[in-house]
Structures are given as structure tokens and as C-alpha cells.
Amino acid sequence: MKDFHCRDAGLDCDFVARGNDNKEILSQVGKHAQNAHQMQVTPELSKKVEGLIHDESSDAHERSAQKH
């Protein structure tokens, strides 16, 4: 399972998207970005989000979880 923390994108937000692959997570993030942040999902934003998606067992995840 992978996840994406909105906070990692520099937003003051506790949203976390979870999924088995980037595509699944990106679709959740896309909806959230529009609804919660009035952000349009551009190819640049998708790329940024993909770079921030990490495995739940990784060190990067531990660091993100500790920020909450």
C-alpha cells in the first residue's frame, strides 16, 4: 500500500490518499485538490504528487506521519 500526504506538498492539510498504485492515488488527489484547495490538476502537479507518493513501510512515510 502506498500513500500521499497532502502536507508533503506544502499544504496545511491532513488529507492522506491511499492506494495500491500511483494511478489510484492520483485520482483521489485530483478530486481532493479541486474540492479542498480549488486547484486544477496540471501535468506538473501530477508529477509533483507522484514524486511524493511513497510506500507505507518506507522511511519517507515515517517522516510524513510524524509531522501530523
**Which amino acid is residue 44, in one-letter code?**
E
Identify which of residues 36 and 65 has a Cβ nearer to Zn ion in the complex: 36
C-alpha cell at 55: 510506500
Identify which of residues 6 and 26 has a Cβ nearer to Zn ion in the complex: 6
Identify which of residues 15 and 30 has a Cβ nearer to Zn ion in the complex: 15
**CA 58, 60, 56, 48: dihedral to nearest 10 degrees?**
-130
Q: Of residues 4-63, which lie at the interface with Zn ion (CB under 5 A)?
A: 6, 11, 13, 15, 36
d(CA 53, CA 5): 8
Rule CB under 5 A: which residues touch Zn ion? 6, 11, 13, 15, 36
